[in-house]
Structure formats: C-alpha cells, structure tokens
Structure 1
Amino acid sequence: MRRLPRIVRWAALLVLTLALALASAAWLTARPGDPGLYPPAPGAETVTVRLVAQAWHSGLLLPRADLARAAAEAADGALVEVVERFRAYPALEIGWGDAGFYRAVPTLDALDWRLALRALFTPGGRPAVLHVVGVAASPEAAFPGAEIVTLRLSRAGFDRLAAALGRAVTARDGHPVILGPGLYGPSLFYAAEGRFGLHNVCNHWSAGLLHDAGLPMTPLLDTLPRGLVLDLAWRGALQSP
C-alpha cells in the first residue's frame, strides 16, 4: 500500500491542528446559560421569539405586545416609543450592525467587500445602528429563504432580553434617535449603543440578547449566522413551533 506524499500528510496534520485549535477556542470562550431563566419551567408562562438568520446577518423577531409590556414595566421610555411607532404590527424584527455597512448593503448582491472589511477591522470598532421592521405576515412569508429558529423563553427571560434591547437604543432627551428609512418594508434605522467590529458583529448581538434571556452562547461559533443556528441546535435550544 502506497504511503501518501509527505505534503499531503503535512496538509492533513495542519487541517487537524487548526480544527482542534478552533474547537478548543470555541469551548474556552463559551458562556453558560442561566438555568433559572431557560429553559422555562413546565407550565410556566412563555414568550415565543424567533431568530431570523440570513446569508450574512441575523436579527430577532419579537412579539410587539410582549415587548411593549416589558418596556412599559421597566419604564424604558425610548424603547416604548420605538415599539409604539410600530403599533400596527404584531411583531418586530430587530437587528443591529455597523452604521455604514448595514445601511449601504440591503442585499447580499449589493455586498461591497471594501465596506465590509472597513467595518470589521477599524481599530476600536465603528458606530452601530438598530434596524426595526414591522412584520404582519408569518415569519416564513416575511423572510423567504431565511433560517428561522423558534424559541420559547420564560417571561422573566424575555424581560431580561427586552431590558438589554432597551440599553441598545441611543436616546437623546429620553427619545430614540431616528436615522432614516430602513432597508425593506415598514422599517426605520435608529442610532444604537455599542461598537461594531470583528469581535462584536450582528450575530454576536443577536446571540447576546438570547444569552440575556438565559441561553448559553459560543461567541466564536456565533460569528456567522449559520454558526449561530448550529450553536442553538448543538445546545438543544431548537424547539418546535
């Protein structure tokens, strides 16, 4: 039996080493969830939310009525104002991202790699925005082609998520800062807290809000939308609608 050429053996060893290094890094940076919040206790009140994962971006689809309740109970005036502006819609899809790249790239076809690289590698990160969309159709109809993960959160977990979302809204004199029309449907861009960069992309933000709701997260795996979906599946967080 012929032995594989030395260069092939070295290449295989390199691939294996990189795979082990990445797996180790993912494990070492993983953050545990809060079992007091997630999964919900049997028979407890729950709130259904959805992760919407596109080719390069993910956001959260949240029930507007529950978000309005949580914002009002927390006396978060800026978030109440955002939610009230979309009161005609039963759900809101909310995403976070780089202010320049997010607003300039509505679809994957419009992807500008120069903008993408600038957004990812600017030292200190770049300003961020929130994109809020009013959604009336079913998730599958509203986001054809997207991977949609359905999650049932405890009420306390959802309230933690809403509080984290409220902290992401930049407010001036108690009011959210509107930056202009959004990318599709009834939507608006809002100024947001946080800095966008390679170590804090939109998918980390989505995962972070779910982490606030009690779910575990793996930042390295969550860098890409598909990785975030796999992370939820790997941790057993996927639930039937």
Structure 2
Amino acid sequence: MRIYGFIKLFLILSLVSNLSCQGTKKPLYPPESNQIIKTIYVINQGWHTGVIFRYQDVNDSLWPAIEDFSDAKYVEVGWGDADFYQAEENTVWMGIKALFWPTGSVLHVVGFDRPVDQYFYGYDIILIELPDSSYDRLCRFIQQAYETDEEENPIPLGKGLYGNSQFYKARGHYFFTNTCNTWVAQAVREAGYPLRPEYACTAGNLFDQLREIG
C-alpha cells in the first residue's frame, strides 16, 4: 500500500540521524548447555513485527496480564501507534502524524492454538532460544509495557485485528525513532541478545540483525 511505502521511506531516512548509543546488556546467548531453554518467535508481517510466546512457558507472576489468554497455546504481542494500529483504514495523515508527532501507543495481544508456522503461514518467522532467566527478563519487559489503572490492572481498549485478540493501552510514545520494530528489538535485547534498537526502525532492519546473530 502507498501509505506503507511512504512511511518506510521516512523510517529509512531517519537512520541517518538516529545514532544514539545504548548501554550494553550482559550477554546471555548462546544459552549454556546446562540451562533450561525456552523458545520465542519473532514474526515479520511485512510492516509490523511482534513476539510470540508459548503460554505454558510464561511465569504469569512476571507477566500477569497474559492470563487474559489462558485458554491459548501461543500468545503474540506487538506494540504500536494507538491511532494507526487500531484504525480500520489507514490514511496518509495518520502515517505522517505517527512518524513526526510523538503519539500514544497500544499493545496488540493475540491468543491462538495452531502451530506458529501454520497460524502465520507465509510470514517470515525467526526462532530464538533463550535461557530461563533471560526469558523471565523478557516477560517482565512485556508486562511493564502495559499502561495500568489505579489498581494496576491493564486497560483494555477493544477487540484486536484478528482472531482472539485485544488492544491494551500501552506505555511509551510512538515516533519515527521509536517504532514497533525498535520495540521488538528492545524486548529481545532485554533478553540478552546484542541487538541495536536504533538500527531497527523497519522490519527489514530488525530481521537483518536477528539473522546475523541467529
């Protein structure tokens, strides 16, 4: 679609001015042979990226909001611009606003039972193995992305885009240097993988990095 090409162009150009450094996480990969290993999947849906977890692997004391999908085998989560992500039809103005004005954000969470490669057939998917401690850090990162009410409960915003899904109000502001793809890079980096979120503004940038370390 024209709007996606327009936004992608500006995201690529933004890399020139987005060279800020970030502190180094203690490397946790590759996992040592004596550690409990759990698997996540990073999915590239063409424009948007997300992270997929197996529900039974998640310690719900670290990510209590996942209990909304306790009947699912897998849970996919993504983060993005509140207006653009939830819109039934995207417009050029929405794309420009999302890029150049810091805007509110949402989480999109999907529960499903079919094997990952079947449910997301035709999409680019990368499997990542994590030690248990690293996986727990990632789950904490996801939980902390939810905006909460006065009683610290997640704030649901309505049905999501497909399947058994839900939007939630999220923390953080969307901007051309802080996209759904940089958010996924931050999440995987929190788990100990040496990604550079500042070089992951597009899905292609993110997956290039994942393939280098995979």
TM-score by length of 1: 0.77
Residue in structure 1 matched with residue 12 of structure 2 by the alignment: none
One-letter amino acid of the structure 2 residue matched with residue 204 of structure 1? T
- CA 1:43/1:56 → structure 2, altered by over 3 Å: closer, same or farther? same
Distance (Å, rounded) in 2 between the aligned partners of 1:31 and 1:216? 11
Residue in structure 2 matched with residue 195 of structure 1 by the alignment: 173
Residue in structure 2 matched with residue 118 of structure 1 by the alignment: 97
C-alpha displacement of 1:153: 0.6
Superposed CA deviations along residues 93-119 of structure 1, whole A, max 9, x for unmatched, are 0000010000015xxxx5422211111
Distance (Å, rounded) in 2 between the aligned partners of 1:147 and 1:169? 26
**Equivalences for residues 5-154 of structure 1 within 5 A:** 29=21, 32-35=24-27, 37-67=28-58, 69=59, 71-72=60-61, 74=62, 79-80=63-64, 82-104=65-87, 110-122=89-101, 125-154=102-131
Q: How many residues align?
A: 200
TM-score by length of 2: 0.86
Pairwise CA RMSD: 2.1
Distance (Å, rounded) in 1 between the aligned partners of 2:134 and 2:84? 31
Distance (Å, rounded) in 2 between the aligned partners of 1:163 and 1:147? 26
Q: Percent identity?
A: 32
Which residue of 146, 164, 181 corresponds with 1:169?
A: 146
8 Å CA contact 1:38, 1:157 repeated in 2 = no
8 Å CA contact 1:29, 1:219 repeated in 2 = no
C-alpha displacement of 1:156: 0.6
8 Å CA contact 1:54, 1:147 repeated in 2 = yes
C-alpha displacement of 1:31: 6.0
Structure 1: which 5+ residue stretches go unaligned?
1-20
Instruction: Name whichever structure is richer in helix by fraction.
Output: 1
Secondary structure at the aligned position of 2:122 is classed as coil
- CA 1:230/1:32 → structure 2, altered by over 3 Å: closer, same or farther? farther
Residue in structure 2 matched with residue 219 of structure 1 by the alignment: 197
C-alpha displacement of 1:55: 1.2
8 Å CA contact 2:55, 2:70 repeated in 1 = yes
8 Å CA contact 1:30, 1:216 repeated in 2 = no
Which residue of 155, 159, 162 corresponds with 2:132?
A: 155
